[in-house]
A and B are shown apart, each in its own frame.
Chain A
């Protein structure tokens, strides 16, 4: 078994043991999505208008919550330094960690979306597009949040800073993702933005780990 899968499996196992930590962002997602109708209007037409945006922004913020502490646990107990010293390139290690957290924290989030989308009176035909867009956008999102987490890994109260640093850079994901979903809602062709999201995902997964590893090295040294 190669290093990537070993670290992936390790992180998944750890996350399963700490299920409480993993479920908090999911709960946060549901609560936030439920708050909007109270603040805006329970009217189905209004909800249908804003549903796409509400779900996307809430998913973004929940992912931030789930991932901003990505490296802090390992930094605190010293295993991050051990991983840095191993012959495995830090970029691979880091990518495995991001992948593990995407599987355990973000995928369930995406699984919740259909139910919540229906509560916002979004048409069924929009769901495949929305899921596809989220599946394509969240890897990039996870990499970006991981960059923020790595930059702040040595800070005591770094968590709140991650959002400030990273959220502006997630604008393209939000634009392409929610527009793709909107196209799906109205039955228009969705290939364009989905391809763009895919391109961003590929670039992020290829280049992101370099920045993440560099940031961890600075933080931990």
Chain B
């Protein structure tokens, strides 16, 4: 535990350094302190995951009234691992990235506070500690979104959406936890866990529903996701990376911690609700990711997609455990946890790379990018590998997670309860539907952004970014490769976390080894062998190529459709690439497109100019949230009539209120 506290202290020191030191040195010093703290936290988390022993700490002084208490069990350690690994990369990246607004005192110290809270949230082990860390995390990230308002016009509106949703979520969580504390001896998680069986079933379900709403809104589950594709893109890139990879995971952590650990399961309907959140999120997120043209917005929607898959795993695990299928439950929960870690790494890498692209070209609109692989080979390779991982290319981490999830769902079909089986079916369908859509989204992101010809001056003049940013991005590719090629090495760690989450003492169905083997169910993958095969065949082909008479290729013009050469404007853009799918799913996406033709004054047969506009707005936002906001505003304006500034009226209000209270109390 001492080591963990040291890592927290280092983050605090980073925050202080960011606030106090002179401009020239504060970026490297503050960021390196944060990175060091995160690296220490990685070590702590790994140690707890390997040994499976808890570590705890309590201080009455640090938080008034209740004190601050931390307990790191393997489940918490798993999420700390995810956030500290990305945190280290984000801090290192910030050394090269922080310029202008991001290098201000406020931004730097808030950034360190944000990193700090991401380490503390999973460790918190009492209601007040959790809420304190949670709110600090929400507020610091909220302010960080507002860092660069000059260049990001949308930042204010995004911050408003985020602020409203996160406060709504926090209120729900607090209320739910308070319901749970009502019968408990204290407010520590141990007390809550011990007394949860004394709560009435309705009370437990009510508490879980509230907590689920709160955590699901932080995880970005549809329909509580509207803030996510607005807020994540507008934040500075190291912050977006942490928000999308680690903060979103905190929502998942909360659901597992409260539902599985503190409330010990409950009814299967809870878990069916969680899984349904997942199914809808996976499909909706994947679909919007395919049509987004803003690189960071695309990544944000894809986060919703992966969170959906994670929630399917968590929901399936809960439902299966409660219907007596512990093996399948274990597999589903392991899949969810593995996906959390894999997602943290590849989505962190992708957001950092998106920041590098924005820094190099001045834009993140895919329609204005192209050909970046020539100028930015390292960033390009990072994007290619991370995108391949998210597309579930075998031998990369995304595939390991999805395979494990499919094993869980497949064996969940043996469950005797029909609702559970229906959830498994929906999960399989969601997994199948998102697979293809994700491939489209990320072939688009890499193919349009990094291949072809540059579509704007910014993309033409792009250059590779600072070394620290390159190292940070490369660091986040490591887990994608390790979890993909030899997923077996994390199985012992994963088993500790899964067993803690499900509260089971059963032997794990996963065998020890380099690949993933579920011997009891006859399923196995050995990605290392597949990789050797693929690389071997490619090497043979390369040797064959070398043996041919002509080894070097002659550069020629590409086919220009009858013109001299193909110009950059003739290429497909991100919008046109996704247009067929947008048309296929028009019923869900409701795209709006306008064509405006101006004719030459002399003749209607000649066109002077042509304007085409295509927009895809979030349907749930337009149809679900806007009306509610409109009503709230109307009520607010109506309430204004009560206030006319007259002191007599206010005194009368006070008098009436007093009388009412006396009547009610008396």
Q: Do A and B come from one complex?
A: no
